[in-house]
Structure 1
Amino acid sequence: MSIRDDGTIEVVDGEQVLVYTPYAVTAPDGTTVAHESRGGQMAAVWAGAVGEAFVEVSHLGHGPEGGELVMVVTRPGHSPDVALGALVTDDIPATVPDSWPAAVDLAIGLIVDTTLDSGTKDDVEAFHQRLLGVWFGHG
């Protein structure tokens, strides 16, 4: 996986390219995958392949805007790559949607060491604690 100049993430294997944004994925065959809350057909999980890479895109719960997607890419002989997109943000609003802390908690379980777009597992865990503080009215 690599981050493009426009902030999208791509998974490439030869001629096959998958493009990930926090709210939609374009598969190598041109199919666009988005959560149903954003007009897509996906309710929870979509999976596909890019060459030898297995790609799983999940909606773990709504984050700050709703419909945020998480992507895990597994290649033979490599640790998984994880992209959390807009599920982890720089700022936390004064009101936190009910499913956001749970979605981040589930995402933490996917991280081996680092994520491509959200820092280390420790960074995501610290964000989760700040998010919980706001959600419980202590932030």
Structure 2
Amino acid sequence: MRGIQTNDDGTIAVTGTERSLTYAPRLITLDDGTTIAHESQGGDMSSVWATDLGGGWFVEVAHLGDGPAGGELVMTATEIRLDETIRYVAIGDLWARDLPADVQPSWPAAIDLALGLMEGKVTILGPGITKDDVETLHQRLLGALHG
């Protein structure tokens, strides 16, 4: 089956006609067993990685900055159809309902960059979060960081 599937364990599967991958907040696993992770998590990726899964499915993965744990990955999956383009964005562990006691200085900047990926018609993948929720988180992070 081609498309996007959100799994019970919080991972997201993206399947094209030629390849598939599974997204987790700090690890991408391709169907051939290849893994993609940020260098701070033991991987080789420093900023951006992209692939064509076939059948009009393209995936870009980026490290926009460290959030609460470090090495968080943001995924944009795009399906190009004859009559439309559908985009999905997953921000993984950059999302938090509750803020920790210490906020990494790069976290608000990473959220700001993630918001830029959410322009136009896009579906945000995650536990029922909306762009408004992400904007509110951005403001809360700035407040926690700068008082």
TM-score past 0.5 threshold: yes
TM-score by length of 1: 0.92
TM-score by length of 2: 0.87
Unaligned runs of 5+ in 1: none
1:8 pairs with 2:11: yes
1:71-124, Cα deviation, whole Å (9 max, x unpaired): 001111232100000001121112111100000000000014441115111110
Alpha-carbon distance in 2 for matches of 1:105, 1:34: 21
What is residue 121 of structure 1 aligned with on the other side?
Answer: 131
Instruction: Provide the alpha-carbon RMSD of the alignment.
Output: 1.4
Moved over 6 A (4+): none
Alignment of 1:81-120 (within 5 A): 81-112=88-119, 113-117=122-126, 119-120=129-130
What is residue 143 of structure 2 aligned with on the other side?
Answer: 133
Alignment of 1:40-79 (within 5 A): 40-51=43-54, 52-76=56-80, 77-79=84-86
Alpha-carbon distance in 2 for matches of 1:69, 1:57: 6
What is residue 29 of structure 2 aligned with on the other side?
Answer: 26
Partners of 1:23 and 1:69 within 8 A in 2: yes
Partners of 1:54 and 1:75 within 8 A in 2: yes
Alpha-carbon distance in 2 for matches of 1:130, 1:114: 23
Q: Give identity over the alignment, percent.
A: 55
Alpha-carbon deviation of 1:68? 0.1
1:29-85, Cα deviation, whole Å (9 max, x unpaired): 321000000000000000012122110000000000000000001111232100000
Alpha-carbon distance in 2 for matches of 1:85, 1:71: 8
Unaligned runs of 5+ in 2: none
* SS of residue matched to 2:9: coil
Q: How many residues of Structure 1 are paired with residues of Structure 2 in the alignment?
A: 137
Partners of 2:46 and 2:63 within 8 A in 1: yes
